[in-house]
Structure 1
Amino acid sequence: MTTARKLLKKPSPTTLPSLLRSSSSSSSSSSHHAPTSSSSRPHSVHDSVDAALRSLLSPPSPSHRSQALALLRSTLLPNPPSRPDPSIVSIIFSTLSDPSLPFDDDDDDAAFRLLLDMANRGAFPPDTFRLTQLVNKLCRSGVGGAAKGWDFLRAVTGAGGAVEAPAFDALLAGLARDRDFPKMKQLFSEMLNAGVRPNVVTYAILVNHLCKSRRVDDALQVLYVMSSPESGVAPDTVTFNTVIDGLCKVGRLEDGLALLDRMRTRQGCAPNTVTYNSLIDGFCKVGDIDMAHELMNRMEHGGVPPSVVTLNTLLSGMCRTGRIGGALEFLKQKRLASAEVKPNAASYSILIGAFLHSNNVGRAMELFDEMVENGHSPDSVTYFTIISGLAQVGKLDDACSVASSMRTAGFKLDTKSYNILISGFCKKKRLDDAHQVLAEMTKAGLRPDVFTYNSLLAALCKAGDFPAVSEFLRKMIDDGCRPSVVTYGTLIHGYCKAGNLEEALKIFENMAEFKVEQNTVIYNSLIDSLCKNGNMDMAISLMYEMREKRVSLNVITYNALFKGLRERNMADKAFELMDRMREERCSPNFVTMDILTEWLSAIGETERLRCFVQG
């Protein structure tokens, strides 16, 4: 049952969900107070401290700052231990908590050690604002920053310092960025045990992190806690929106609708455009366009204004489900009927791409002209949509013309755009044009990537130009572009097709040099070529190697071997492979049956064939 009542069942007032073990209704104490007593220091000590503070406050100078931190640490924290001067402590905390004060890695560690030692001796920032600012700065200080914030705040609480919710929130946010949920859970429990009442920010951090981690059930538990009278904090629209969006992203759309009803009817929290957009996007992605339209009608009747994001989400969903004509009509209706929702360049780009993918180039270009006439300047996304769409339907000259217009309009083609054109020309066997686009790409200051090289290498292999293949492979490696498994698969397949099995095996062996793992496709190319050349021993050896390396055998592997075994009339080995194929639950296809039916019938093994088929 996916009702609002089930979704947000009120928790027991005496217990919290398992996620957050205990609750507290008491509030935190007031802001911190630094020690008020100061010890008398020799004049030289004050001079040293003053000099160090001036160095800390001066314009960035890493060497001076490092020396200043070392001096402060040795002067303020002598042995035997004593509390530092409160006025100096206040200046140090104010200085080090300033987000604009830069530190290099060494200074950052030195400053942290100073802060930690001061906290352990009972010296804390003078107010909640400074403490929160400092925890936040520590959490954002690079790798391991959240751990520093954790150690510092625990040192403050361990030495008796009173910490309010904002400082806990800053550390929770840092732990959330590191996806360290166990520590987040521990910190939240410690916060409750310390009598600090979580605020709306605390809950928002937890909910947001849980939803991003796709732990929506845990996020709902946090929402339960907020919804209880004991929490003292009511969930707001942003919190509900976060959970609804999380539910939609994991496909729990009915739960999202139930939460929308709960939000509106029982919590008195008004949904907004963001709420409905999350649900509309979720239903569009699962292809339920009718429900998406119903939600848009609901929001309009409820006085919630749709946005251009709402419009574009529906357009995209309709186009993905093949309702391109309906999407175009929907755009026209909204353009004429709604003063609030007007299509933009992205709206037209969605439809242009859909018509291009359905090979309706004429309608796509009409929409492009209409877009410009209505005052929407094409952006880089629009141009890319047109270029990729034209290339996919084989209109490469038109795609190049649009690319030229794009450059004239002041836009630069990116690597992806050039790759689409190069790949298109390669598939059409127009290698000269592909090389020309490559030259333009390098002239524009862009380096070819692995996709660029793979497209060209595949085309050269198909053309049988293996000297050029070797040259391009060397250039690829010299340019620092690491060959991928696709690169090796392309080369091995190309050399096998050309009958150069020796070179294919060399490339196969060289894969280990670049730490690229062989896959099923590559093994199949070699096994098929070996079988065709009558080298069954090596083909079978490669099959065993696949099993040792846990590379999956598929029906293509077995078919290649069956063909080779049939040519050499190795029936016993074929029977063994048939048994293995059945054990591995690899289903035969029509090619398998053609090979085995003709062969086994001819040698009087129809009963074995029947058992194989039934098995």
Structure 2
Amino acid sequence: MEMILTKQPKFLLKRRHLPLLRHFCTEHKSPLPQVSESSIIITQALDVLLQTPDNEWTSSPQIKNLLFSSTSLSPQLFFQITRRFPSSSRALSFFNFLQSNLPTEANTSSLSYAYQAVFELAIRERMSPESLFDLYKACKDQNIPLSINSATLLIRFFGKVSMYDYSLLVYNELDNNLRNTHVRNVLIDVLLRCDHDRDAFNVLDEMLDRESQFPVNELTGDIVFYALMRREHVKNSVTDEELVGLVSKFAEHGVFPNAVWLTQLITRFCRKGKTDEAWDVLHVLMKFDAPLEAASCNALLNALGREGDFKRMNQLFTEMKENDIEPSVVTFGTIINRLCKLYRADEALEVFEKMIAGKETAEISVEPDVIIFNTLIDGLCKVGKQEEALGLIEQMRLRLQKGCMPNAVTYNCLINGFCKSGNIEKGLELFHLMKQEGVTPNVVTLNTLVDGMCRHGRINSAVEFFQEVTRKGLCANAVTYTILITAFCNVNNFQEAIKWFDDMSRAGCSADSVVYFTLISGLCQAGRMNDASLVVSKLKEAGFRPDIVCYNHLISGFCKKKMLDKAYEVLREMEDIGMTPNSVTYNTLISFLSKSGNFSAARRVLKKMVKEGLVPTVVTYGALIHAFCVNGHVDEAMKIFKELSSSSNVSPNTVIYNILIDSLCKNNQVELALSLMEEMKVKEVRPNTNTYNAMFKGLRQKNMLDKAFKLMDRMIEHACHPDYISMEILTEWLSEAGQTEKLKKFVQGYAVSAAPA
């Protein structure tokens, strides 16, 4: 029987669903036409019917004799005859003829099947949904009961044209005994595809009821889980908690999501950080003895590993064995990988040893692959156990016949481990060994060794190694050159850094923005602004644009070279391209202008900073205060300090207090400096050794010993240790004053202010 079906998901093609797919097309146990029925009678009847005008059928003895006198003609054969008419209109005429001539006892069943054929022909002719619905209404008006196949045909058709309300109407008008599992599955599929989840789940709830006459089956589960999984990236009408409950209700009926859907579901929960829900789903299925596979467990193990929840990882691994879920190499690899990433290499090694010792302990034995060996070697190297990692290569060699051969990744992990520990010679030895064993070094090998040498101050060795291996055909990449450029920048050898930058271009390696920014930053810090500007030009030619950090380095570099015009030029360029200066930009300019004594310009920049919506920071105020103090304008510095203190957003820090206390003491305003010390105590700003040293100098000038003793006690109380400057000041002063005993007590950590001066 040819039927119009909606496109089915790929899962329906799996072998275990093939019987269900057949039932999805036609109702199981439905008395549809059998191949054994007499084709001769059907052919004869059709020939006569097609050759006779419709209005003469009733008066034709031959037609009546063929159709109504034979005892072999059944409702199924009336169906076969009706569906072979060339059009739905003639088929409908034949139905009307049957309705007028069939005996009462055969009327209902035969007419039902004949009308089913009319529906099929109408759909095949692509009749409009409205016309088809009129045909359905006519069927209902004549009290012709729908067959199950007619119902599913209509439900699916109306769903296909997004007229799900018609699908619901057909379903709701069916007799209760016809709303079986098959019909409900079709309706749920239609509703979910039309995103009408509420109606779909109303039908599903009836099926999930424990007393349901038509419960869910495996196909119901596939339809529902497929629909929910395909909506992973859109808003779902079912919450995660409800989804867990749904899996549980299906499980009560012995229906479980297949391995693919279950793995996707667990992965989905874990991506959202809902490992508890993933855990619940898996354990619900374990409770009902669902046929689980390692892939689903592996997804959860991976998530638990990311969270460092090794307690539940161990529990799940144990439960896998209890539930006869055979761990795969991925299972062990997941556990080992997560342990290694959390620097728990010893535990990873224990898991590995259990993995390979299964045969001897009657446990499940899984043969490790190259990936597991490489993961473990890398993990051991990261915790400084390079020698143990090296020993694993011997185990790999014992498994050469099983395809477990050390590869470039294996050696790169080992070389990286030895280089990071400073054992460059061992790294080079491994480099030569891998070539002897037929493993070709790659650019990662080159970069690892070059980086290791550079990090341990062996830049010349790195250059020699680079030149040697590249002559032999090993190609470098942008990362290699970046390592060398950065290394030369770090030792302020910018001439070599620029040379390598040029070599990089000649070698055809496209520099990324990191290379440019590294070079620009180093040149700016070294004050080589012409070279920095040249690199900026090359950066723009390469299609990159300086970021805010790069511009700030340029502004800072020009300010240090007292090239204010250039700094303003960079600032204007930033504004022209729509890049808003940040607090660092303005603080750099304010600091330079203030130190230069150009306070009016510094204040203008400060006003612009506020106008741009940036809140001045403690660094901003500190720059101004320091500059005023350095230029002898302590009173102006105190005005800014009071402005800062009154601000609710910014609080002065120890550095600012130290600047003011030192300047006040030098300006013979010791009492005011002492008041700032008290203010620090109230505001819980901790003084440091520099604070006390500045005060000791000021107090000595005023010979205020009592105050000095109290400050010495406060130093001891706050465990603020005196430095050589503190001891130099106090030793000279207290020796002159005959208070060497108090100095001894102070050094020993005892209070000194209680004794009389």
Q: Same fold per TM (> 0.5)?
A: yes
- Structure 2 counterpart of 1:333, from 468, 487, 491: 468
Structure 1 spans left out of the alignment, 5+ residues: 1-30, 59-63
The answer on whether the counterparts of 1:488 and 1:508 sit within 8 Å (CA) in structure 2 is: no
**Cα-to-partner distance string for 1:291-335 (whole Å, 9 max, x where unaligned):** 322232232233222211221222222223332222222211111
- After superposition, the Cα gap between the structure-2 partners of 1:262 and 1:88, relative to the gap in structure 1 and judged at 3 Å, is closer
Kept in 2, the 8 Å contact 1:32–1:128? The answer is no
1:541 aligns with 678
- CA distance in 1 between counterparts of 2:179 and 2:675 reads 85
1:81 to 1:381, Cα distance in 2 relative to 1, 3 A:
same
**SS state of the match for residue 287, structure 1?**
coil
Q: Which moved more, 1:65-74 or 1:242-251?
A: 65-74
Q: C-alpha separation between the residues in 2 aligned to 1:394 and 1:220?
A: 51
Q: State the distance in 2 between where 1:389 and 1:318 align.
A: 20
Residue of structure 2 in register with 1:196 after alignment: 325
- Unaligned residue ranges in structure 2 (runs of 5+): 1-14, 29-174, 750-757
1:295 aligns with 2:430: yes
In 2, Cα distance between the equivalents of 1:130 and 1:56?
17
1:228 corresponding residue in structure 2: 357
561-570 or 480-489, which deviates more: 480-489
Partner residue in 2 for 1:129: 260
What's 1:592 paired with? 726
**Matched-pair contact (CA < 8 Å) for 1:48–1:71:** no
Q: Deviations over 1:535-568 (max 9, x none)?
A: 244233245347xx5x655322332332233234
Q: Mapping of 1:332-481 within 5 angstroms?
A: 332-336=467-471, 338-339=472-473, 341-466=474-599, 469=602, 472=605, 476=609
Q: For residues 189-247 of structure 1, what are the alpha-carbon distances to aligned partners after superposition, in whole Å with 9 as ceiling and x for unaligned?
A: 32233232322111221122222222233222222322323341133222222233223
Give the conservation status (yes or no) of the 8 Å contact 1:539–1:561: no
What is the SS of the residue equivalent to 1:429? Answer: coil
Alpha-carbon offset, residue 412 of structure 1: 2.3
How far 1:388 sits from its partner (Å)? 2.2
Distance 2:518 2:289 in 1: 61
1:78-227 → structure 2 map (5 Å cutoff) = 78=209, 83-98=215-230, 101-104=232-235, 106-109=237-240, 112=243, 115-119=246-250, 121-140=252-271, 142=272, 144-227=273-356
Q: How does 1:556-595 map to 2 (within 5 A)?
A: 556-582=690-716, 586-595=720-729
| Deviation of 1:265 (Å) | 5.9
2:546 corresponds to which letter in structure 1?
L
Does the 8 A contact of 1:555 with 1:586 survive in 2?
Answer: yes
Secondary structure of 2:700's partner? helix
**Partner Cα distance (1:504, 1:270) in 2:** 69
Residue identity matched to 2:640: E
**Counterparts of 1:490-509 in structure 2 under 5 Å?**
490=623, 493=626, 497=630, 499=634, 500-508=637-645
One-letter amino acid of the structure 2 residue matched with residue 402 of structure 1? V
Q: Distance in 1 between matches of 2:692 and 2:204?
A: 72
Residues 487, 118 of structure 1: CA spacing in aligned structure 2 closer, same or farther, 3 A cutoff? farther
Q: Supply the distance in 1 between the matched residues of 2:464 and 2:204 (Cα, whole angstroms).
A: 72
Q: Tell me the CA shift for residue 137 of structure 1.
A: 2.7
How far does residue 156 in structure 1 lie from its aligned partner after superposition?
A: 1.6
Q: Distance in 2 between matches of 1:505 and 1:254?
A: 62
Using the aligned pairs only, state the percent identity: 43
Name the residue aligned to 2:71.
none
- The one-letter amino acid of 1:77's match is L
Deviations 1:383-411 (A, max 9, x none): 22332232222111221122112212322
Partners of 1:441 and 1:447 within 8 A in 2: yes
Q: Work out which of the residue numbers 580, 591, 601 in structure 1 matches 2:735.
A: 601
Structure 1 CA distance, aligned partners of 2:310 and 2:723? 48
How much has 1:89 moved relative to structure 2?
Answer: 1.9
Instruction: Provide the aligned length of Structure 1 versus Structure 2.
Output: 566
Q: Give the Cα–Cα distance (whole angstroms) in 1 for the partners of residues 258 and 352 of structure 2.
A: 31
CA offsets 1:64-99 (integer angstroms, 9 cap, x no match): 45535643554443475785243222211233234x
Q: How far off its partner does 1:167 sit?
A: 1.0
For residues 529 and 75 of structure 1, what CA distance do their matches in structure 2 show?
85
Cα distance in structure 1, aligned partners of 2:704 and 2:391: 65
Assess if the C-alpha contact under 8 Å between 2:248 and 2:281 holds in 1: no
- Looking at structure 1, the residues matched to 582 and 381 of structure 2 have their Cα atoms a distance apart, in angstroms, of 36
Compared with structure 1, are the counterparts of its residues 475 and 74 closer, same or farther at alpha carbon in structure 2 (3 Å cutoff)?
farther
| 1:513 alignment partner, SS class | coil
| SS, match of residue 206 in structure 1 | helix
Query: What amino acid maps onto 1:560 in structure 2?
Result: A
Name the CA distance, whole Å, in 2 between partners of 1:42 and 1:120.
Answer: 25
C-alpha separation in 2, matches of 1:216 and 1:598: 58
Give the superposition deviation at 1:586.
4.1
Residue in structure 1 matched with residue 689 of structure 2 by the alignment: 555
Q: Which residue of 1 aligns with 2:202?
A: 71
The equivalent of 1:513 in structure 2 is 649
Tell me the secondary structure at the aligned position of residue 290 of structure 2.
Answer: coil
Q: Under a length normalisation based on structure 2, what TM-score does the superposition of the two structures give?
A: 0.66
Indicate yes or no: 2:442 matched with 1:310.
Answer: no
Does structure 1 residue 53 correspond to structure 2 residue 184?
A: no
Distance 2:298 2:485 in 1: 46
Structure 2 residue identity aligned to 1:92? V
Q: 1:438 to 1:44 in 2, by over 3 A?
A: farther
Q: In the alignment, residue 406 of structure 2 is paired with which amino acid? A: P
Deviation at 1:101, TM superposition (A): 4.9
1:231/1:418 CA distance change after superposition, 3 Å:
farther
Summarize deviations over 1:563-611 as a string: whole Å, max 9, x none: 2332343323433443554566544323212321222122122333345
- Conservation of the 8 A alpha-carbon contact between 2:621 and 2:644: yes
Q: Return 170-179 or 528-537, whichever deviates more.
A: 528-537
Question: C-alpha distance in 2, partners of 1:265/1:575?
Answer: 76
Greater Cα radius of gyration, structure 1 or 2: 2
For 2:341 and 2:314, the matched residues in 1 are separated by: 16
Asked whether the 8 Å contact 1:32–1:127 carries over to 2, the reply is no
Query: In 2 relative to 1, CA 192–274 (structure 1 residues): closer, same or farther, beyond 3 Å?
Result: same
Task: Give the match's secondary structure for 2:649.
Answer: helix
Separation (CA, whole Å) in 1 of partners of 2:434 and 2:539: 39
8 Å CA contact 1:89–1:123 kept in 2: the answer is no
Q: Is the 8 A contact 2:216 2:250 kept in 1?
A: no
